Amino acid sequence: MSLSFCGNNISSYNIYDGVLQNPCFVDALNLVPHVFLLFITFPILFIGWGSQSSKVQIHHNTWLHFPGHNLRWILTFALLFVHVCEIAEGIVSDSRRESRHLHLFMPAVMGFVATTTSIVYYHNIETSNFPKLLLALFLYWVMAFITKTIKLVKYWQSGWGVSDLRFCITGIMVILNGLLMAVEINVIRVRRYVFFMNPQKVKPPEDLQDLGVRFLQPFVNLLSKATYWWMNTLIISAHKKPIDLKAIGKLPIAMRAVTNYVCLKEAYEEQKKKVADYPNRTPSIWLAMYRAFGRPILLSSTFRYLADLLGFAGPLCISGIVQRVNETQNGTNNTTGTSETLSSKEFLENSYVLAVLLFLALILQRTFLQASYYVTIETGINLRGALLAMIYNKILRLSTSNLSMGEMTLGQINNLVAIETNQLMWFLFLCPNLWAMPVQIIMGVILLYNLLGSSALVGAAVIVLLAPIQYFIATKLAEAQKSTLDYSTERLKKTNEILKGIKLLKLYAWEHIFCKSVEETRMKELSSLKTFALYTSLSIFMNAAIPIAAVLATFVTHAYASGNNLKPAEAFASLSLFHILVTPLFLLSTVVRFAVKAIISVQKLNEFLLSDEIGEDSWRTGESSLPFESCKKHTGVQPKTINRKQPGRYHLDSYEQSTRRLRPVETEDIAIKVTNGYFSWGSGLATLSNIDIRIPTGQLTMVVGQVGCGKSSLLLAILGEMQTLEGKVHWSNVNESEPSFEATRSRNRYSVAYAAQKPWLLNATVEENITFGSPFNKQRYKAVTDACSLQPDIDLLPFGDQTEIGERGINLSGGQRQRICVARALYQNTNIVLLDDPFSALDIHLSDHLMQEGILKFLQDDKRTLVLVTHKLQYLTHADWIIAMKDGTVLREGTLKDIQTKDVELYEHWKTLMNRQDQELEKDMEADQTTLERKTLRRAMYSREAKAQLEDEDEEEEEEEDEDDNMSTVMRLRTKMPWRTCWRYLTSGGFFLLFLMIFSKLLKHSVIVAIDYWLATWTSEYSINNTGKADQTYYVAGFSILCGAGIFLCLVTSLTVEWMGLTAAKNLHHNLLNKIILGPIRFFDTTPLGLILNRFSADTNIIDQHIPPTLESLTRSTLLCLSAIGMISYATPVFLVALVPLGVAFYFIQKYFRVASKDLQELDDTTQLPLLCHFSETAEGLTTIRAFRHETRFKQRMLELTDTNNIAYLFLSAANRWLEVRTVRSSHDFEMEAQQKGGLVQRGSQL
């Protein structure tokens, strides 16, 4: 054994000239550092680590990075690669010797093991944050550096140089060992863990101290980042338990919307300062985005460059492998040297070395490509979050006149949120392609020219000339998509009208009439979809046909121009290069299209950000109301019996104003005062003019007047929502020197509650809409619901006050929505309450109940300042102060007696109107008594029926729980492929089209396999004749016919798939519409309107536009894989042995990934809708939010919704990267292609 280490020749052990003069003993010396490291680290790793880990609580896989973390991992990977080269060189050199010399590769093997152990050892030390144990690594790198340096010096003294591979490998290892030694010295310097009195203690990152942070990609080590190893736990656990929001946790701080908003806002404000002195210039959002997110984009571009350059290693290695195989078969391989040392050229000409290099190059290419994808996706998500925060912040400061005058519509805001931000995000995803594509094209053309000469330029010209056609098709696709979107919007509008008025339609049996109208619009949409499907199929056809046409033109030109037959190495390497060259040209049209859309989106976004904002009034700077528990009144209110027919209640003649609420004008406390006010909606013309009013503190002020006289505008002007042309709105302060009761009350002097004329509800529960962010108090909540007569309506709801209402919830009537808004204003612990016509959507009974219980009792007994806009003149008798308006001005102001005395004509006019209203009241009360009883009976019956149904459902759920205690049935449904749904979609397209698609697909891929086989036979002629000369006509004709057939079948398959998808979309929408419109009323009462609309909007859009190209891609990839497996198995049957474990591994990978991906996709969809709805509801209720001064709360809610959606999207992206890394699809394609071509060459040479 000892003899075999240095060889069987005794002269190999000669040490007469010194030990270091013997290369075998020098190699043995290089074993010492590796043995030392293994001897030191193995006991620590396998013996003492258990007790150490029990003392240190580790939350995540890697929670602390020492200085130089990433550099250490990169150097270690490089060192491992050099060790592999050293092992290969030693084995090849040993094969040239007569006896076995283990010293040529044994130290390299030990070095590989020691280097692997060093990084494992470092990872565990870093995980436990115990740097003192790094001293062993420091000693190892020092010893390795010294021994390798000695070896390099001895080689230099022996006359070796850079032409010798062993000398180059040794020199590289000296450099790498020296750099790793420097990294260890830097750790000692920074952490001060040895030779220092005060070690530097480092805490884990702030994110990882939060147990809710589960997205670990920024914190794990480099290997885990590259392989997404940290995702294994989540992917595997998804097969046992569905992934929910709790499982994915929170975003790291650096990825949260508020963090990125601050960065983008600072950059944007900097741009605004630069253009402040130039009135004609606007701040550049592009520069702001570059300053905020430019660094990660540059990093992603670097990764993309490296991946593209490594991609060209595939064709070069394939060329070398095929050439070596061909030379071996012909007996012309002269690469076997006679020297005992191996040169770099000889090493790179070895087929096995080329195969290993090909494998490693493809692994690195996919790693860099996935890293580039991840960085761009993360940056795009961060940009979207920052833009959403900027848009939302602008919405909260948006001038009301912009919305009221139509300058900025709700639809435009929704488009900014849902479309424009996504356009910029997707542009950022594709951004690295802008500068990566020229490099790919230039490199591809150069390599093709080097292989095939001028004939390669013909194929490249074909690709370049056909690229404009691709761009033309992409442009037409965008136009067809826009046209389809217009018809889709119209169809959704009609569908929404049907769903909102479904009760009326069913009452008059008009369902089919309105359904026919929707179908007519759908036919117009389908006509536009036909155009879209046509251009989509042409795009798919061009993607498949251009490579075939380019290869055909190149090979035919080469055959007739040069007169020489194709060499196998040239043919199959050029095929790979053509596939690489075609990809950027296909992406060019897509990137340009998204770039144009991004420019348009930035223009719209810039216009929005520069739009007018609301003025900052002094009262808005006050603090929000104090905690609700400090309120001492109305902790419980008993319902009061009201005699609704009390005679003379609303007659002015019998009115006597209560002296309890009146104070002399000279001494009364004024809550709000407007002096010489002129207010406008932004048009420059005064909507309200000469406004001089005062609102007494703690009293009921009523604002009356004809429709359109400016009553609602007056409230909005007080709230600061209108543009102040002249005058001032003054909110009085509490005189702290007066120890009055009001001065010691718990409520804030400036707190306001507001109920708008148009009811506005949150997409939340009834309870959340009423409490509106205030702490829940059961007694006060009950008092408010009773005062607003909401309890009977709440009892009808499926889940009581926990039922979700709003756009995505249960549909409510206008009166119910109005009373909930009034209840919200009553519930708030505020000093001032503004009610804008709260009786407009209420009947007589509910109006009377709300006035008596809600306003006169609940509010006035608490001495809260109330401003009530109303048309109900019969309630004027309860007013402490009246403001009469006409044509945008104040006609009269004062008490009812003051108006009776000073303006008799106005008083008599009111009296006439009130007498008329009293007569209508008596008639309505008699007529509505029966209606009220029927309504009560119907509600009672409905409640019983709903309760019985819920009880039946509870019993069924209990039975299901008994049968499936462990939720095994649910898990089986999650993990099972929905084959029935897939079959239903395929059959909806028609059996004929389904058969035609399958047949044409099989025929097309058979022709593609025949093209490869024919090309292998053609190139084998060069090997058989060995002259390079042959009759090309036969092979060119056959190759041309097969390529023509392949191009024609590409067109047939693309058209068939799109046509089948269009037919399926037509039938599925027709069935869905009829199924929904014929459903029972109960279905529409219990199913949220938004949920139904989603089936007709998002889901229908996926069926119309996304499933057909996805189906084409799925079938194409599947058949390509099967044909490749078949060809390899035919050429190399031994491949079937390796196919079994590969198939098993792929099965389990897709099994786990499919379940996790589905859960994450559902989370992304379900978290996106609340975010969009939050923007929509904020824009609709902007006045209410600002009146309550809840901007901060709504901002926080928006940030939470944004982060929730972003974390779901990030995990979905990471899961896709996890799958890509494990399947390494492109790498397998290259390897399969190399084996397939090599096997075909071998099979063709045997024919």
* C-alpha pair distances (Å), 928 with each of 645, 920, 934, 935: 13, 12, 10, 10
As beta bridge partners, residue 700 has 866
Given this model, what pLDDT does residue 750 score? 60
Residue burial 705-739, b: 16+ Cβ < 10 Å; e: rest: beeebbbbbbbbbbbbbbbbeebebebeebeeeee
> What type of residue is 58?
I
Under 8 Å between Cβ of 423 and 587: no
* C-alpha pair distances (Å), 1050 with each of 450, 917, 1010: 30, 77, 15
Helix (H, G, I), strand (E, B) or coil at 364: helix
> CB count, 10 Å around CB of 12?
17
Alpha carbon distance 24, 432 (integer Å) = 51
Q: What sign results for the dihedral spanned by CA atoms 84, 85, 86, 88? A: positive
In degrees rounded to 5, what are phi and psi of residue 24?
-65, -40
Tokens linked to 1111: 């189906």
Lowest mean pLDDT among 27-31, 899-903, 1108-1112, 1241-1245: 1241-1245
Query: Which of 932, 949, 978 is where one domain is finished?
Result: 932
Q: Which helix (H) or strand (E) holds 676?
A: strand 670-680
Q: Which residues contact 666 (CB under 8 A, 6 or more apart)?
A: none
List pLDDT tens digits, range 967-1007. Answer: 444 445 555 667 788 888 888 888 898 999 999 999 998 99
Residue burial 543-578, b: 16+ Cβ < 10 Å; e: rest: bbbbbbbbbbbbbbbbbeeeeebbbbbbbbbbbbbb
List pLDDT tens digits, range 406-461. Answer: 667 777 788 888 888 988 999 998 888 888 888 888 888 888 888 888 888 888 88
Region 1029-1054 average pLDDT: 84
pLDDT band of 20, cuts 50, 70, 90: low
Alpha carbon distance 354, 80 (integer Å) = 18
Given this model, what pLDDT does residue 624 score? 34
CA 782 centroid distance within chain: 42
Alpha carbon distance 1215, 5 (integer Å) = 48
Under 8 Å between Cβ of 892 and 904: no
Alpha carbon distance 569, 251 (integer Å) = 50
Asked, for residue 37, whether it belongs to a domain, the answer is yes
Supply the DSSP symbol for 804: B
Q: For residue 660, is pLDDT > 80? A: no
Alpha carbon distance 650, 879 (integer Å) = 12
Given this model, what pLDDT does residue 357 score? 86
Query: The domain spanning residue 760 has which CATH number?
Result: 3.40.50.300
Supply the DSSP symbol for 1027: S
Given this model, what pLDDT does residue 648 score? 40
Asked, for residue 261, whether it belongs to a domain, the answer is no
- Unique residue bearing structure tokens 């050229």: 345
Given this model, what pLDDT does residue 196 score? 58
Alpha carbon distance 460, 463 (integer Å) = 5
Given this model, what pLDDT does residue 650 score? 41
To the nearest whole percent, how much of the chain has pLDDT over 70? 80
Residue of 862, 881, 899, 838 whose CA lies nearest to 673? 881
To the nearest whole percent, how much of the chain has pLDDT over 90? 22
Query: Which of 932, 947, 982 is where one domain is finished?
Result: 932
Under 8 Å between Cβ of 597 and 590: no
Name the pairing type of β-strands 700-705 and 723-731: unpaired
Name the pairing type of β-strands 670-680 and 723-731: antiparallel
Asked, for residue 1217, whether it belongs to a domain, the answer is no
User: For 170, what's the count of Cα atoms within 13 Å in the CB-facing half-sphere?
Assistant: 26
List pLDDT tens digits, range 132-153. Answer: 888 899 999 999 999 999 888 8
720: left (phi over 0), alpha (psi -120 to 50) or beta: left
Asked, for residue 555, whether it belongs to a domain, the answer is no
Lowest mean pLDDT among 248-262, 929-943, 1149-1163, 1164-1178: 929-943
Alpha carbon distance 292, 424 (integer Å) = 14
Under 8 Å between Cβ of 712 and 837: yes
Alpha carbon distance 29, 32 (integer Å) = 6
Alpha carbon distance 224, 247 (integer Å) = 20
Given this model, what pLDDT does residue 286 score? 92
> CB count, 10 Å around CB of 309?
16
Alpha carbon distance 346, 352 (integer Å) = 12
Domain range for residue 820? Answer: 618-639+667-706+735-932
pLDDT band of 29, cuts 50, 70, 90: confident
Tokens linked to 93: 């050199």
In degrees rounded to 5, what are phi and psi of residue 884?
-100, 130
Region 1131-1158 average pLDDT: 83
Asked, for residue 606, whether it belongs to a domain, the answer is no
> What type of residue is 537?
S
Alpha carbon distance 1127, 525 (integer Å) = 44
Given this model, what pLDDT does residue 922 score? 54
In degrees rounded to 5, what are phi and psi of residue 810?
-65, 140
Lowest mean pLDDT among 270-274, 503-507, 637-641, 837-841: 637-641
User: Mean pLDDT in the chain?
Assistant: 79
pLDDT band of 943, cuts 50, 70, 90: very low
Q: Which helix (H) or strand (E) holds 688?
A: strand 688-696
Given this model, what pLDDT does residue 1151 score? 87
Residue of 707, 696, 709 whose CA lies nearest to 742? 696
Given this model, what pLDDT does residue 262 score? 94
Alpha carbon distance 905, 899 (integer Å) = 9
Residue of 709, 695, 652, 727 whose CA lies nearest to 882? 695
Given this model, what pLDDT does residue 632 score? 36
Distance from first CA to last CA of the chain, Å, rounded?
49
Total domains present in the chain: 2
In degrees rounded to 5, what are phi and psi of residue 164?
-95, 125
Which is more confident, 858 or 963?
858
User: Which range scores top for mean pLDDT: 62-71, 345-354, 1192-1201?
Assistant: 1192-1201
Supply the DSSP symbol for 739: -
Residue of 412, 422, 435 whose CA lies nearest to 383? 422
> CB count, 10 Å around CB of 888?
19
User: For 214, what's the count of Cα atoms within 13 Å in the CB-facing half-sphere?
Assistant: 19
Q: Which helix (H) or strand (E) holds 673?
A: strand 670-680
Given this model, what pLDDT does residue 14 score? 60
Where do the H-state alpha helices sit in 874-990?
Answer: 896-902, 904-963, 968-975, 979-988
Query: Which of 901, 932, 963 is where one domain is finished?
Result: 932
Asked, for residue 915, whether it belongs to a domain, the answer is yes
Under 8 Å between Cβ of 1153 and 1219: yes
Asked, for residue 147, whether it belongs to a domain, the answer is yes
Asked, for residue 133, whether it belongs to a domain, the answer is yes
> CB count, 10 Å around CB of 593?
17
Under 8 Å between Cβ of 545 and 476: no
Where do the H-state alpha helices sit in 798-903?
Answer: 814-827, 844-849, 896-902
pLDDT band of 405, cuts 50, 70, 90: low
List pLDDT tens digits, range 550-564. Answer: 888 888 888 877 666
pLDDT band of 626, cuts 50, 70, 90: very low
Q: For residue 667, is pLDDT > 60? A: no
In degrees rounded to 5, what are phi and psi of residue 614?
-75, 150
Q: For residue 496, is pLDDT > 90? A: no
Supply the DSSP symbol for 103: G
List pLDDT tens digits, range 574-585. Answer: 888 888 887 787
pLDDT band of 770, cuts 50, 70, 90: very high
Lowest mean pLDDT among 494-503, 908-917, 1232-1241: 1232-1241
Alpha carbon distance 1007, 536 (integer Å) = 23
List pLDDT tens digits, range 878-898. Answer: 888 999 998 889 988 888 888
SS (H, E, C) 869-898: ECCCHHHHHHCCEEEEEECCEEEEEECHHH
